[in-house]
Homo-oligomer: A and B are copies of this chain.
Amino acid sequence: MNKRYLMAPGPVAVAPEVLAKMSEPIIHHRSPQFSAILTKVREDLKYLYQTKNDCLILASSGTGGMEASVVNLLSPGDKALVIRGGKFGERWDELCHTYGVKAVNIDVTWGKAVDPQEVKKVLDANPDARAVFVQAHETSTGVKHPVEELGKLIREKPATVLVVDAISALGVYELKTDDWGLDVVITGSQKSLSLPPGLAFVSVSEKAWKLVEKAQLPKYYFNFLKEKKAIEKQTTAFTPAVSLIIGLAEVLRGIRATGLPALFAHHRRLSEGTKAGVTGMGLEFFSTVPSEAITVIKAPEGIDGQNVVKILRDEYGITIAGGQAQAKGKIFRISHMGYLNEWDMIVALAAVERALNQLGYPIELGKGVAAAEAYFAQNK
């Protein structure tokens, strides 16, 4: 019985009932039937985003949503601030570089969050910055950046917008798009929405639409104004990924029924229980501002984190994630996103204990699991 567990931060496990929904016969994308689904999905996305603004739907991975935000907001030679504290922060810088946008990088040590006062200082020194690019949650390090505070700062700057990569944050924990002044918020289908990869979503504030109207960077497939016009006609600018949107409708229906508070509480519980287990094992966290999306564990002295990941995957059929770039080998990451519950977290912790033992690192079997069990029993 080759039963497998997917507990990496994207792609994530998808619920069987959603997979079944996506396997219904394909419908045409220019039909009243599909328009009705799109309209409902767009309303439900506003609920998820906590915004009154339109959320655009793109057929691409999350990176497509990031690139779309750069090319639809900026013009050649524009200046932008980039919070760079992980692999995805670096991606903002690379995107700016690609399109001739002058990136002023605020470098943050991997594992730490940006200091809003530092951003304020750099922002004051660069009043001509058109945008600040940040991750709500940096998936490569497990760090939550203080986007609520950044929103307050940037709201005061009439010529600057805040662009938030929330690919592994939206739907995981509280993120108030409108109330916090998050002008552009990007997410993807393969994280908290528990869908396969292939869809990106972007919300755009009124302040950001003003930039969009003036933006001169070249774009065709990722075109916010075209998508906006398409929304008025209850369609999409280009052929949408029909089956994924059918799955999305099912997932969003569930989220509305459950409510955001329950959704956030679910992730918080999985995260806290897992973190209790990690502490119980005597291991340490990589992130100084841990998130509810993933638990990022430092590989103990003398252990290559990649070997932990490999044993879980190849011997136990359990997929977690290792570290990327400069964090490779130093960490391993357990996701709380996707179709997962507390028993999955118990499985992940038990597997980590066993793998570390196998690698010669002495951990009393069951110790981390016991701590997690105690947490879950006490926090229902």
Residues of B within 8 Å of A319, CB to CB, are 27-28, 31
Separation of A26 and B16 alpha carbons in the complex (Å): 10
With a cutoff of 8 Å between Cβ atoms, the chain B residues found around residue A67 in the complex are 220-221
A94-110 contacts to B, CB under 8 A, are 94-95, 98-100
Q: Contact check: which of B11, B20, B25, B31 meets A13 at CB < 8 Å?
A: B25
Q: Which of B11, B31, B63, B188 contacts A242 (CB 8 A)?
A: B11
Contact with B along A87-98 (1 / 0, CB 8 A): 000000011001
| Count class of interface residues, chain A | 35 or more
Q: Does A343 sit at the interface, judged by CB under 8 A? A: no
A14 interface residue (CB < 8 Å to B): yes
Chain B residues whose CB sits within 8 angstroms of the CB of A61 once the complex forms:
59, 221, 238-241
A176 interfacial by beta-carbon distance below 8 Å: no
> Does A280 have its Cβ within 8 Å of any Cβ on chain B?
no
- Listed A/B pairs (15) with beta-carbon separation below 8 Å: A6-B25, A11-B28, A14-B25, A26-B196, A31-B313, A31-B319, A32-B314, A61-B221, A190-B242, A198-B198, A198-B241, A218-B218, A241-B241, A241-B244, A243-B244
A219 at the interface (CB under 8 A from B): yes
B4, B32, B99: the one within 8 Å of A25 (CB): B4
| Cβ–Cβ < 8 Å partners of A62 in chain B | 239
Secondary structure dominating the interface of A:
loop
Contact A196 B242 (CB under 8 A): yes
Please give, as numbers and ranges, the residues of chain B lying within 8 Å of A11 by CB-CB distance. 26-29, 239, 242
Closest chain-B Cβ to A101's Cβ sits at a distance in Å of 10
Q: How many copies does the complex hold?
A: 2
Across the interface, which residues of B come within 8 angstroms of A23, CB to CB? 16, 19-20, 22-23
Residues of B within 8 A of A12 (CB): 26
Whether B197 contacts A242 by the Cβ 8 Å rule is yes
Q: How far is the CB of A73 from chain B (nearest CB, A)?
A: 14
Taking a contact as CB atoms closer than 8 A, the residue among B27, B59, B196, B218 that contacts A98 in the complex is B218
Q: Is A151 an interface residue (CB 8 A)?
A: no
Alpha-carbon distance A67/B95, docked complex (angstroms): 17
A60 contacts partner chain B, Cβ-Cβ < 8 Å: yes
